[in-house]
Chain A
Amino acid sequence: MEKTQNNKAWFLVLPVLVLVAFSAVIPLMTVVNYAFNDTFGNNEFFWAGLEWFDDMIHSSRLHEALGRQILFSAIILSIEVPLGIFVALNMPKKGFWSSFVLVVMSLPLLIPFNVVGTIWQIFGRTDIGLLGHTLAALGIDYNYTADVLDAWITVVVMDVWHWTSLVALLCYAGLQSIPQAYYQAAKIDQASRWAVFRYIELPKMSGVLLIAVLLRFMDSFMIYTEPFVVTGGGPGNATTFLSIDLVKMAVGQFDLGPAAAFSLMYFLVILLVSWVFYTVMTNMDRSASDIPEEL
């Protein structure tokens, strides 16, 4: 059959192009524009070249925020992943309690981020908060607004409370897909509990686990709302993570040029890490299916 060539059909995708342009491309290009220019308002721009990037790369303020950010992501990953696996392993496998636990586990994931922040902000207050007041009554000196360690503990615990469920639910799904015969075979082979985990459960969970790590890494690397509501980045700059610093710079100080350069680099880092994850994941899939079959 002869294919009809009708270039007018391109017009049909125009609405999508316009929509994407307005929602993504044009805003992004504005940021790019700010990153390479200097402006004093009135829409007057002076070419700045790579100056802002150079500034930002050498900015100790950014280095510190990046350091805090990496530390935060590392801490929450090292808590949430093992804890999520542990919770998933201990969740009921079927019946009423399995549904019940699933619903309870999903609850923190459904709460809007700023509400989570507010909950913990109040929860931790020594005057009216259940946690803060109880700790104070026990004679523990806890004050997340003044003490750096307390602030970090609060922010980390809050993130663990908010997001461990996600890791646990993903792992649970992975575990549920393991056929019963594997556990029976392990019993026959006299495998220890550890061996069952190491050689059956962990390999079967590895796919979903990698997704969980990727999601948690990206989310924690971009975290803004919850710590902003609880600590506002303080005390001092102790919990000022990259996003919070970026907003301070762009909206607070109105340093649009450096902030734009900063956001572009931020974006590239996340893109790079996600790409690495994606490559690792697809390679893992391939090694599972691409081995030539010799039989």
Chain B
Amino acid sequence: MAQITLKNLAHSYYPNPQTDKDYALKEMDHVWQDGGAYALLGSSGCGKTTLLNIISGLLRPSHGRVLFNDRDVTDAATAERNIAQVFQFPVVYDTMSVRDNLAFPLRNRGMDANYIKARVDQIAQMIGMETMLSRKAQGLTADAKQKISLGRGMVREDVNAILFDEPLTVIDPHMKWELRTQLKQLHREFGHTMIYVTHDQTEALTFADKVVVMYDGRVVQMGKPEELFETPAHTFVGYFIGSPGMNFLDADVQGNRALLPGGESVDLGAEYAPAAGKVQIGIRPEHAVLTDGAGLPLTINRIEDAGRHRILRGEVMGTPLNIVLPEGQPVEGHARVAFTPAKINVYADDWRVAPLGRAA
């Protein structure tokens, strides 16, 4: 078990990176605490897998260092790091039985045969494959194979960290939920540092204590799910977390008011220093309320029924705006929308600006 520190880490797949664009990972400094359950969230191609492979040692970073506790492992081989990793698509050793597949990492480390047997039985029970242990792995279904991969990732007890690279992509939704619960339980039981890569926010928010959001090769925010929801550090986090994502309106922030292009203004609930660049205010669809007096003029385009709530798709002065309507709220007769002042965030050039007198 280890605390993982990334020091000035950056990676480029080009031999001579010139501009920022050449970097798959832009310089970052982060500490992943020992025993934490982290979810690494981001859209495809944002560098999640690159970061994971750097931590596990499959890839050597072109810049910076990786530390496990106080030990510099940047140049250490994967085996030396004692890391487990589960990949997006199932990797099983076809010619081996399910039992041998699960025992493989232990045997390679020369563990005692009795211990291996006990441990394999325990893992098999966890992934629900006790009855299939003697079968050849070849010809199993994709989700059975992926369960074996997961089992192989978890079979070693002494690993420094377990990395999951979108491991539940090929598994059907019901099983997904069950396996995720098991992973979570396993984490509570053994306290391994776990890093879970996904582009599914539900998966990230249910699995992790801390969610790390990546965008364009950068870690844009690392925080608890509530933090990501209430105070997204970057407009991408706002878009990406929540369904539908955060609404953004171009504005000119002056003191505690945001002036919108149409001459309307919005109360921000806090004082802001003058910000430079492209300034926007962001408000969650959950914190926008239909009114008939105060607020901004609203054009309603359509209303979608999402089961437990309805989503109103509309426009405010030409900018699309979504509102989550509570159950039973009538729409007729409301032509304006108001925002809860305390829930409004201000962004300059996509990064959140903290209000004066309050820390970010």
Contacts and interface: CB of A to CB of B under 8 A. Distances in A.
A181 B56 CA distance: 13
Given A187-B78, A191-B104, A203 B95 contact: yes
Interface string B132-154: 10011011110110000100110
A181 B108 contact: no
Given A190-B109, A290-B139, A184 B132 contact: no
B91 A182 contact: yes
| Interface size classification for chain B | 20 to 34
B78 A195 contact: no
B234 to A, nearest CB: 30
A189 B140 contact: no
A104 to B, nearest CB: 27
Interface string A257-288: 00000000000000000000000000000011
Interface in B47-64: 53, 56-58
A288 B143 contact: no
B79 interface: yes
A180 B108 CA distance: 20
Interface stretch (B81-89, B201-209, B267-275, B293-301): B81-89
A83 B128 CA distance: 43
B94 interface: yes
A60 to B, nearest CB: 45
B179 interface: no
Contacts of A181: 87-89, 91
Contacts of A287: 138-139
B51 to A, nearest CB: 15
Contacts of B149: 185
A196 B275 CA distance: 57
| Interface size classification for chain A | 20 to 34
A281 to B, nearest CB: 15
A179 B93 CA distance: 13
B96 interface: yes
B104 A189 contact: yes
* Residue among B58, B84, B109, B141 having the largest count of chain A Cβ atoms under 10 Å: B58
Nearest to A184: B58
A204 B95 CA distance: 10
Contacts of B93: 199-200, 203
Given A187-B79, A199-B96, A293-B139, 17 more contacts: A181-B89, A184-B85, A184-B91, A187-B77, A188-B85, A189-B152, A190-B79, A190-B105, A190-B108, A199-B93, A199-B104, A203-B95, A287-B138, A288-B138, A293-B141, A293-B144, A294-B132
4 residue pairs, one from A and one from B, having the closest CB atoms: A291-B139, A185-B91, A190-B108, A189-B105
Interface of A: 179, 181-182, 184-185, 187-192, 195, 199-200, 203-204, 287-291, 293-295
